[in-house]
Structures are given as structure tokens and as C-alpha cells.
Structure 1
Amino acid sequence: MLRLVLIAGTSLLMSLSALAQLTKFYTIKESPEFDTVDFYLKATATNCLLKQAEKDNNPLTIYGNPNLEKINPTFASKIKNNTCYAKLALDEYNSSGFGDSFSMAVSRSDKDNDFWKVNLNKSEVYRLNLIYGFGNADVNLTGTSVQRLKIKSGSADIVVGYDDGNMNPIQMDTFYVKADFGSIVARRMELSRAKKVITKIGFGNVLLDFDKQMNEKCSVDASVGAGNLEILLPKDGTPVIIHLKDSPLCAVKIAKGFEEVEKNVFVNMSYDANAANLLSFDVDVALGMVRFRYTD
């Protein structure tokens, strides 16, 4: 399932690049009044690409090719305390929420899906709050200074992460992902430089890719209802500790090489409680499955 999400993310990029011409809808111009952009996006049922622009130096530029008979895009922005607050809502007509949009989303073909592209720049600091109902989303944070990230999936398939060797220029405070029914793949988590990762799963699927050596300390809090959480671990060089709260109705698999030092507490061979790059997990699972493994 999660491998299929990765493929879907690649397909989305190819589809967007193949479009003849996206229309520019909204732009926030550079201004000395702010150096931080707090961007909120709610997309009921669309396909979205968010990444740093190669040539556009504006803090925020939004393109799209929506079917305006179905989608009602709205945008607003304001500047306060050296921060530009921007909000983009991509709601379907006659929809009061993700529940109402489900029948609309499944009844139309992929070619009728709306595409949106959000361009960021390399100069501003960003706080991102991204909510996706249905469809696909690719969130490429390569080269972008992200202070805080929140991603929520209703039933969308989302790929978020970084290209090789391009880490977050600043340390991220919180990396938050929530999957109600959808799937989220978080690639190259070490490049996010997140101090804290929060993962909440209802019936969805989440993959957290920590398979490269960590250079900074990171704590991961995860709660799993009836869904699935898969965590890729670094094979060596990174100290790891796992605190687990499970139930008789769940399934948990711990990677080889870990020792249970006390009940439901596992450490790897590199573990050092005082290490500057300690990777710690607190996982609470009810009915679902959690798997810690190394990359094949």
C-alpha cells in the first residue's frame, strides 16, 4: 500500500508537469513587512503539488486549473507581527465537509480532478498547515525553511519529504501528520531537522522514513487506532530507543538487533541516553499494526 502511494506521488508530479498551462490565481509579493509566511490550505477533493519555485522569488504563488463549476476557490491574506497569514480554501459547491465530498470525489474520473500548484521561495520562513480531503498531494520541502508543518489526510494519498542532500535550512519545531483514512509517506525525515514528530492514525497508513543517520535529536510520539504505522530505521550510527504501549488486539514488529531492557522498552546497539542525535519513539497502538524495520 505505502509503495503504491510513492508511485502515486511520482505520477502526480509527472501529470502536473505535463499540463499545458496552469493559470496563476494568487500571489503574495515580497515585502519588508514580513519574513515569515503562515500558510493554511484546505483542499476538499483535488490534486496538489507544493514545492520551492526555481525562478519565482515571491513568497507564495498559487496556480491551478480547477473546474469552477465544481470548485469554489477562496484566498485571503493579512500581515501581523512580521508574519504574513495566507489561507487558501478549495471547497466543492454544496459541500459542508469531507463527508459530503466523498460521493463527489469517487463519482468522477481522474481526468476531471483539479490540479493546484503552490510555489514557495528560499528566502522566507514557513509555517504550513495542510488539510487534504481526497485526491493526491506531493509536498516537496527541499530547500525551504520550514519552522512548523502540519498535514492532515481525510482519504488522500500524500507524499511529503526532501530530495537527497537538501535538508531544512532551519531546525523544525514540530512535524505533525494525521491520517484518518488516507495514506501519508514521509521521506527522508532526517532532512526535516524536526525536534518533535507527532503522528496520529485512525484507519489510515503512515510511513516514516528515518533510514539515514540522524545528526540531531528527535522525539517521535505516535498513536495508532486501527491503521498501520511503518517506521524505517537507520542500520547503525544512530542511537534509538522505543517506548511501546500496546494491547492484545494489536500487532507490533521490532527490527532485529534491539534489546528489551525493560517491559516494552527497546534499545539498539548504538543507544546512548545522552547522545546528541538520539532518536526516541513513544508509540501507543490500540487495534492496528506497528512495524519497525530496516530498508530492504
Structure 2
Amino acid sequence: MLRLVLIAGISLLVSISAVSQLTKFYTIKESSDFDTVDFYLKATATNCLLKLSEEDKNPLTIYGNPDLEKINPAFASKVKNNTCYSKLVLDEYSSSGFGDSFTMAVSRSDKENDFWKVNFSENKIYKLNLIYGFGNADVNLTGSSVQRLKIKSGSADIIVGYDEGSMNPIQMDTFFVKADFGSIVAKRMELARAKNVITKIGFGNVLLDFDQQMNERCNVDASVGAGNLEILLPKDGTPVIIYVRDSPLCAVKIAKGFEEVEKNVFVNMSYAADAENLLSFDVDVALGMVRFRYAD
């Protein structure tokens, strides 16, 4: 699953770079009136790229190449208590929800008019709430100071994470992902520095990449309905404990090298309850599949 979604993400980046002209739609200017940007994005059916811009020093700049006969963009912002609250809604006309937008998304023939690019700066702290119905999204957090992240996928394919070696400058409080029917790949989770990771899966697919050694304690709380959760584990150096609540209708696979110390509680050879970099999983699965494994 990781390989397929990564290929889709690469295709998205190539497609966006191939668009000849992206129009600047909205900008939040640099100001000392706030140090935090609370950004809300809702897109019923579109393709989005979010990343840090080294050239643009404004806290938020939004570019797009939409078909304005189908997309009705709306943007608003206000500053309150040292925080700039900004909201971008990319609804389709005559769409009351993700169900209505599905027919439009499938029937649309001009895919080049569906791109949005959101630029961050390195000078602000970000709280992100991103909701995608259909399409693709690449959320590259490299270089951005992200305090809280929430991503929800209706049926969208989403890649979120960091480039190698670029750690979140601040510790993240909560990293939340929800996949109703879509797929979410979270890359290089150790670089997020998240205290809490929350994953909710309906019928979708989520991959959490904890392949590299952790430097800080992280608690992962996951619930799986009828979908699939795959977790890449660090091979050594990181203490790991896994708690599982399962059912007769699900499948749970634990990586080699773990010992079941009591029913449905597994630890690896590096486990120590008081470790400063303890990686703890609490997984509740009903009908789906959960797989803990090491990277190939």
C-alpha cells in the first residue's frame, strides 16, 4: 500500500509542477500581531499541495488553478488572542456534501483545473485542520513549526510527513488522522515529535511510518473499523509496547521479536516502562486488519 500511495503522491507533485500558471488567490501578510496561524481547509473534490516556501515569507499564501464554473472558493481570516484564524473552503457548486461531490469528481474531464497550493513560512507556529473529500493531497511539513495537526479523508489519497532529517522545530501536541474510505500515509513520524498520535479508520487504509529510532515518548491510539492499519516499527533502539483489543472477526499481525507478556500485550527487547523515548500503541480493531512490521 505504501508503494502505491507514494507513487500517487509523486504523480500529484509532477502534475502540479506541470501546471503552467497558478494564480495567487489569498495572502496573509507578515505581522507582529500574531505568532500562530490556525488554518482550516475543507476541499470536497480537488488536489492540494501544502508546504513551506523558502521564497515567500508571508505566513500563508494560497495559489490555485481551479475551474471557477465548478469550484466556489471562499477564504476568511481574523486575528484574535495572538492567533490568526484562517479558513479556506473549496466547495463545488450544488454540492451539499461529499456524497454529491463524488458524482462530480468522477465525471470531471478537465483534471488540470483542480490544483491548489498552500505555502507556509518558517516564522509562525501552525495549527492545521485539513478535510478532504476526493482527490489527492500532499502535506509536506518539512521546516514548519506545527503544534497540532488534524487530517480527515473522505475518499482522498493523502501523503503527510517530513523529508529526511528535517525535524519539527517544536514538539507537536496531537497528530490526528482519520480515513473514512480513503488512504493516508504518514511518513517519518519520528520527525513530527508528536506526544499523541490518534488514528481512526472506517473502511480506509492508513500507514504510520515509525521506521526510525524515536527520541521522545509518543503514545499512539488507533481504532480500526473495517479498514486496514499498517505500522512500520524501528528495528532496534526504541522501546515499544503494544496493547491490542481485538475481535474474532479481525486480523492482527505482530512483528517478530516481540514477547506477549500478558494477553494481548506485547513488548520488544528494548522495552522499559520508564524510557524517555517509549513508543506505546493502544489499538482497538473490530473487522479490519492491523499489521506491525519492519520496513523492507
Specify if TM > 0.5: yes
Give the letter aligned to residue 47 of structure 2: N
What's 1:26 paired with? Answer: 26
Q: 2:157 and 2:6 mapped to 1: Cα distance?
A: 9
Residues 225 and 288 in structure 2, CA contact (< 8 A), matched pair in contact too: yes
What's 2:148 paired with? Answer: 148
Matches within 5 A, 1:183-202: 183-202=183-202
Matches within 5 A, 1:70-149: 70-109=70-109, 111-149=111-149
C-alpha offsets along residues 25-59 of structure 1, whole Å, 9 cap, x if unaligned? 00000111100000000000000000000200000
What's 2:49 paired with? Answer: 49
Deviation at 1:86, TM superposition (A): 0.1
What's 2:251 paired with? Answer: 251
Q: 2:17 and 2:54 mapped to 1: Cα distance?
A: 14
Taking a change above 3 Å as real, the CA distance of residues 204 and 110 of structure 1, as seen in their structure-2 partners, is farther
Deviation at 1:2, TM superposition (A): 3.3
Unaligned runs of 5+ in 2: none
Taking a change above 3 Å as real, the CA distance of residues 113 and 179 of structure 1, as seen in their structure-2 partners, is farther
C-alpha offsets along residues 3-43 of structure 1, whole Å, 9 cap, x if unaligned? 21111111111111111110000000011110000000000
Residues 170 and 193 in structure 1, CA contact (< 8 A), matched pair in contact too: yes
**Runs of 4+ in structure 1 over 2 Å off:** 109-113
Residues 19 and 112 in structure 2, CA contact (< 8 A), matched pair in contact too: no
The TM-score, its normalising length taken from structure 2, stands at: 0.99
What's 2:240 paired with? Answer: 240
Residues 210 and 232 in structure 2, CA contact (< 8 A), matched pair in contact too: yes
Q: Percent identity?
A: 85
The TM-score, its normalising length taken from structure 1, stands at: 0.99
Deviation at 1:111, TM superposition (A): 2.5
Q: 1:94 and 1:59 mapped to 2: Cα distance?
A: 32
Unaligned runs of 5+ in 1: none
Q: 1:212 and 1:20 mapped to 2: Cα distance?
A: 38
What's 1:289 paired with? Answer: 289
- The alignment covers a number of residue pairs equal to 296
Give the letter aligned to residue 179 of structure 1: A
Coordinate RMSD, CA, aligned: 0.8
Residues 47 and 113 in structure 1, CA contact (< 8 A), matched pair in contact too: no
Other structure's SS at 2:66 match: coil
Matches within 5 A, 1:252-291: 252-291=252-291
Give the letter aligned to residue 194 of structure 1: A
